[in-house]
Structure 1
Amino acid sequence: MENRKIIQVDEKVPFSLLAPLSLQHMFAMFGATVLVPFLFGINSSVVLFMNGFGTLLFIFITQGKAPAYLGSSFAFLAPGLLIIDKFGYQYALGGFVAVGFCGCIVAAIIGKFGSDWINVILPPAAMGPVVALIGLELAGTAANTGGLLAEGGPSSANVIVFLVTLGVAVFGSVLFRKFFAVIPILIAVVCGYITAYFVGLVDFGAVGNASWFALPNFSSPKFSAEAIVIMLPALLVIISEHIGHQIVTSKIVGHDLLKDPGLHRSLFADNFSTMLSGFIGSVPTTTYGENIGVMAITKVYSVRVIAGAAILSVICSFIGKLTVLIGTIPGAVIGGISFLLYGMIGTSGLRILVDSKVDFDKSRNIALTSVIFVVGLSGISINLGSVALRGMSLAALVAMGLSLLFYIFDKMGLMNDK
């Protein structure tokens, strides 16, 4: 295996490599996935449990053909915080259940009528920039997590840790060989963490006070029609995000996941996990761009590695000291990794344009790509109740509408680039 450049989705990985490869995926998603429960004011243990369990469900439902890790969704933050403030967290859980259930219905409709319509409403000239925006709009998040956008300027300690982490990840991805070539992210995390310790950014005080064993803080939902209505617009965001993630993953692994195992299976798995999350007290889940970036860099696509990371997440949810220890990883380390991972997703979008040989001599293609990039990066938003559509989500909706109009005009013989 050490002499092969790509480890495909269905390939087995030796146990000696499985552990570090799985750890790499868990560390990649950890910083973002625990931020959502922190903002909601709940303990992260139940979220780690559901992330792992939801990922295993996803792999099972998609028949082990779609490598994806499910982490905490940011699409529910605005409506969730509004509901928590007005009704309480249990009613937010009811909203999560309702959105997940509606998403499962959408998946069933797609299963009935197929997904060929995606090629109409999202041709390569539209899908390329939409996928690129998944990574590009998160660039500021990576810099902020790394402490580079702090008021008054970043501290020297943050800059040092950030640069060490990013440097090891970048140079490791192009210079490491054999076994080390498939774990550059893990090595970068370790190097960044050690650096953070020596510059005083790591505090082990909370680890000593944590218990060794602790049950995740499970809780049950309550339902309110008003809370559900507030939450439902988030469904548009998570569907467009899911389609984008599946398309970019398809490009990375070299297999059309929208056809096999099918968009209906992956979308159902994603939303079924979100529905279960609401029932046990966790936050909604979604496929994670960080883990897509890890696969793009390492060329290791095996679902066994993803499953290994999911099992580790479940185990961590029951071990208090381990959860707290992982939580001591400074933001500068997570930000340094994210800088590269988010950029890889953006590059995958550009790759769609190149591989599809999009002809920018045609007016429709240059208009589509240009408008989508500007909409996604301009910062404009449209409010649907308590949910603000912006960035990639708004750009995806604009792309769908504009592409559909161009398709209709083309069928009517009105386009001038025949």
Structure 2
Amino acid sequence: MENKRIIQVEEKVAPKLLIPLSLQHMFAMFGATVLVPILFNINPAVVLLMNGIGTLLFIFITKGKAPAYLGSSFAFLGPAGIVITQWGYPYALGGFIAVGLAACLLSFIIYKFGVKWIDIVLPAAAMGPVVALIGLELAQTAADQAGLILSDKVKVIDSKNVLVFLVTLAVAVFGNILFRKFFAVIPILVAIVAGYITALITKVVTTADLSNALHAHLFVIPNFQLPKFKLEAIIMILPVILVIASEHIGHQIVTSKIVEKDLLKDPGLHRSLLADGISTMLSGFVGSVPTTTYGENIGVMAMTKVYSVQVIAGAAILSILSSFIGPVAALIQTIPGPVIGGISFLLYGTIGASGIRVMVDGQVDYSRSRNLVLTSVVFITGLSGVALQIGQVTLKGMVLACVVGMALSLTFYILEKFHLTNEQQ
């Protein structure tokens, strides 16, 4: 492997590469996936366990044809937070199960009616900006993780954080174009190691933090909980299905572009959405958090050109093992925000660029008013900060842009069918 080459979805990976490539994916998802249970005030170990199991289940249901890692979903934070405050976490679990079931029912509808409607309601002029927004709206999150944005928590930007962030980002950027042979496929992992070493030198991470992690209990048992069901709680959380369905379609579209295979047709959107729904249901039954396909891991695939599901499965197995091995989970949790932020900065930008690729590959003709208006409205809706409240669920960013783009595209399609537009093909 003198230079990078594409390792396709079904390809096997050499044993010497499997562990570092799997670690790369695990580190990429870890920061965000652990943050959700921390916000819900539950043990992250059960989440690492169920995310790993959910990912393996996803690979099995999609017949090993759709590379995706399932991590903790942020879409549920708002409504679930209200339910937890009023009735407790077990009732939020009941809501998670209901949403997972709704996703399974939606997958059955897609199975019956196919996915041709996606080309109508999300043509390239709308699909491109929706995909780009998946990465672009997360750009501030990466900067926040790195401690580079002033806020109520960050009053002064620490120069040490800036240095760790820049080292991590620089190694990731230049590693992608300079590394050869073995290192050519693990630039993200190398960047994380370089950033962590810099954090130790600058004392962003102290030796005491490292020592405490290494002296954690060798074996830990995840803290399982059983769900409880309450109609009011389910009604509060159920509208999140709009968010996760839009997010899932966007992720599958961008992954299809990256691996250059139409995953909406083979293995099929119905299979991937069914797997996501079942994973969310299982998580709800044991006290974990809902799952979703992860943009961070999509970004890793785009940067490394390694799409093998074997690597994704390896990351899932490592996640499961880390949920039981105390020092491993504790050590990973010492990775500081500037390192995670530096990696995310590049990965989220890669997803944004994939959206531009959708428009280029689709040969969108912007001399047509329809296409220009579609792209403009979708972009401005996603980036403006405007939000739509439906009960306890807020639609904003990429999700609201996707809904607006679908509605506008369908309207334009109907107008053209009745020859009411001023420009006809």
TM-score higher than 0.5: yes
* 1:160 to 2:163 alignment: yes
Which residue pairs with 2:362 in the alignment?
Answer: 356
- Unpaired segments of 5 or more residues in structure 2? none
Which residue pairs with 1:67 in the alignment?
Answer: 67
Give the alignment's TM-score, normalised by structure 2: 0.97
Deviation at 1:416, TM superposition (A): 1.5
Which residue pairs with 1:414 in the alignment?
Answer: 420
Which residue pairs with 1:46 in the alignment?
Answer: 46
SS in 1 for 2:297: helix
**What aligned pairs does 1:218-237 form with structure 2 within 5 A after superposition?**
218-237=224-243
Distance 1:4 1:333, change over 3 A: closer
**What aligned pairs does 1:82-97 form with structure 2 within 5 A after superposition?**
82-97=82-97
Deviation at 1:228, TM superposition (A): 0.2
- Is the CA contact 2:4–2:180 (under 8 Å) kept in the aligned structure 1? no
For the residues of structure 2 that align with 1:93 and 1:258, how far apart are their CA atoms?
Answer: 29
Cα shift readout 1:143-163 (whole Å, capped 9, x = no counterpart): 000110133331011000000
Which residue pairs with 1:9 in the alignment?
Answer: 9
Deviation at 1:206, TM superposition (A): 3.5
Deviation at 1:218, TM superposition (A): 1.0
Deviation at 1:304, TM superposition (A): 0.1
Which residue pairs with 1:193 in the alignment?
Answer: 196
Which residue pairs with 1:337 in the alignment?
Answer: 343
Cα shift readout 1:315-355 (whole Å, capped 9, x = no counterpart): 00001111011000000000000000000000000000011
For the residues of structure 2 that align with 1:391 and 1:2, how far apart are their CA atoms?
Answer: 41
* 1:183 to 2:181 alignment: no
**Identity among equivalent pairs (%):** 68
Q: Structure 2 counterpart of 1:200, which letter?
A: K
Which residue pairs with 1:386 in the alignment?
Answer: 392
Q: Structure 1 counterpart of 2:95, which letter?
A: G
For the residues of structure 2 that align with 1:169 and 1:415, how far apart are their CA atoms?
Answer: 48
Cα shift readout 1:133-178 (whole Å, capped 9, x = no counterpart): 0000000000000110133331011000000000000010111111
Which residue pairs with 2:27 in the alignment?
Answer: 27
Q: Structure 1 counterpart of 2:97, which letter?
A: V
* 1:346 to 2:349 alignment: no
Q: Structure 2 counterpart of 1:152, which letter?
A: K
For the residues of structure 2 that align with 1:410 and 1:145, how far apart are their CA atoms?
Answer: 46
Deviation at 1:224, TM superposition (A): 0.3
Q: Structure 2 counterpart of 1:226, which letter?
A: E
Which residue pairs with 1:373 in the alignment?
Answer: 379
SS in 2 for 1:196: helix
Deviating beyond 3 angstroms after TM superposition, the runs of 4 or more aligned structure 1 residues are 1-4
SS in 1 for 2:364: coil
Cα shift readout 1:269-314 (whole Å, capped 9, x = no counterpart): 0111001000010000000000000000000000000000000000
- Is the CA contact 2:100–2:278 (under 8 Å) kept in the aligned structure 1? yes
Q: Structure 2 counterpart of 1:162, which letter?
A: F
Deviation at 1:4, TM superposition (A): 5.6
Which residue pairs with 2:325 in the alignment?
Answer: 319
2:313 is aligned, of 275, 292, 307, to: 307
Cα shift readout 1:62-88 (whole Å, capped 9, x = no counterpart): 000000000000000001110000000
Between 173-182 and 246-255, the greater mean CA deviation after superposition: 173-182
For the residues of structure 2 that align with 1:320 and 1:210, how far apart are their CA atoms?
Answer: 6
SS in 1 for 2:358: helix
- Is the CA contact 2:56–2:316 (under 8 Å) kept in the aligned structure 1? yes
Which residue pairs with 2:122 in the alignment?
Answer: 122
Between 4-13 and 18-27, the greater mean CA deviation after superposition: 4-13
Q: Structure 2 counterpart of 1:110, which letter?
A: I
For the residues of structure 2 that align with 1:164 and 1:154, how far apart are their CA atoms?
Answer: 16
Which residue pairs with 1:259 in the alignment?
Answer: 265
For the residues of structure 1 that align with 2:245 and 2:60, how far apart are their CA atoms?
Answer: 20
For the residues of structure 2 that align with 1:395 and 1:385, how far apart are their CA atoms?
Answer: 19
- Unpaired segments of 5 or more residues in structure 1? none
Which residue pairs with 2:401 in the alignment?
Answer: 395
Deviation at 1:210, TM superposition (A): 2.0
Q: Structure 2 counterpart of 1:315, which letter?
A: L
